[in-house]
Structure 1
């Protein structure tokens, strides 16, 4: 089972973190949501206190097993970045487990990047990984996280340090000397978006890259959901504008939907 925290009681909420981070990404929301809900926040495989992968795997299978083992179904699942893509995978691969879906900073796994500036940044980030240049890799990761071209001086130092600590933990504990075992992608998720049958909320930071914003919006549009735009925030609006994101989540959880 994935390492996880489990707090509060009531209707279940599952919070999935972004790549190279861990469950602490959701720290601003966990206590607030746990007042009225059972909140479970795992570390995905290869992150935090969960094991480092040694054989091919799919994040969606790990998360589905956790939901079943903890008897959370049907659960509201919310994800940021990688976590958003895993959340979409879960809603498509195991729709019986998901009651509502919240995505931020990403959408369907396998969705294509189009923005030239973002593509260039991703190419340089990948090269830094191949070069085993940790300092350059981390700097580009943080630039992607807080908005391409945005000066770090414009970011709350405490938030920047929080993300850097999580990234350092991932690099220290889960990146082997050899080639890492990467997750197996779920097939054709983007084409399967119209099969989504759950209420969807997309939360997008307006300083995030155009592609990340588009991907989240596409999930909401496919399911007839809605989008909350967060000014002054990049890829992690729940950290940079926690009161807005927490309020949007609480409002979404209070809504009644047919069949919910």
Structure 2
């Protein structure tokens, strides 16, 4: 079973973190949501306290097993970045487990990037990975997370340090000697997502890349825009994101 936090009681909420991070991404939301809901926040495989993958796997299978083992269904699933994609995958592969979705920074299937500035940053990120240049990899990862071309001086120091700490922990514990085993994607997820009928809320940081914003909007029937926030709006504007989550849960 995936390592996870399980806090509070009431209608269940599953919080899925972004790539290279862990459940601590959701620290601003967990205490408030757990006042009225049972909140489960796992570490995906290859992240946090969960095991490092050594063979092909799918995140969606791990998450579905967790939902069943903890008897959470039907559960509201909220995901950021990688977590958003896994949330959509869960609704596609096991719709009986999911009550509604909240996505941020991603949508269905593999990411499709078109914005020239983002493509340039991704090329630099890939080059850093190829060169095993950890410092440069981390800096490009953070730039993508807080807004392409945005100065880190514009990000609250505690928020920047929080994301950097999670990233460092992931690299230290799960990628110590080279390339990790990457998850197998869900087949035809983007095409299949057009047929989703359950409620889907997108929470969009307006400083996130245009492509990340677009991917979240494409799967949603409702959108909450968050000014002054990049790829992790729940960290930069926790009041807005927590409020949007609570409103969606109450609805």
The answer to whether the superposition gives a TM-score over 0.5 is yes
Provide the rounded CA distance (Å) in 2 between the counterparts of 1:19 and 1:43: 10
Provide the rounded CA distance (Å) in 2 between the counterparts of 1:110 and 1:165: 26
Alignment of 1:233-252 (within 5 A): 233-252=229-248
Residue pair 1:92, 1:195 contacting (<8 A) in 2 also: no
Give the superposed CA RMSD.
0.7
The DSSP-based 3-state class of the residue aligned with 2:29 is: helix
2:35 is aligned to 35
Structure 1 unaligned residues grouped into runs of 5+ = 256-260
Q: Deviations over 1:99-134 (max 9, x none)?
A: 010000111121411111111111110110111100
Alignment of 1:88-127 (within 5 A): 88-127=88-127
1:70 is aligned to 70
The DSSP-based 3-state class of the residue aligned with 1:5 is: strand
Offset, 1:179: 3.1
The DSSP-based 3-state class of the residue aligned with 1:20 is: coil
Provide the rounded CA distance (Å) in 2 between the counterparts of 1:237 and 1:46: 23
2:185 is aligned to 185
The DSSP-based 3-state class of the residue aligned with 2:79 is: strand
Structure 2 unaligned residues grouped into runs of 5+ = none
2:157 is aligned to 157
Q: Deviations over 1:156-207 (max 9, x none)?
A: 0000000000000000000041432110011111111122121110000000
More off after superposition, 2-11 vs 187-196: 187-196
2:142 is aligned to 142
More off after superposition, 168-177 vs 50-59: 168-177
Instruction: Note if 1:231 corresponds to 2:227.
Output: yes
Residue pair 1:105, 1:204 contacting (<8 A) in 2 also: yes
Aligned pair count reads 251
Shift >4 Å, 4+ stretches? none
1:258 is aligned to none
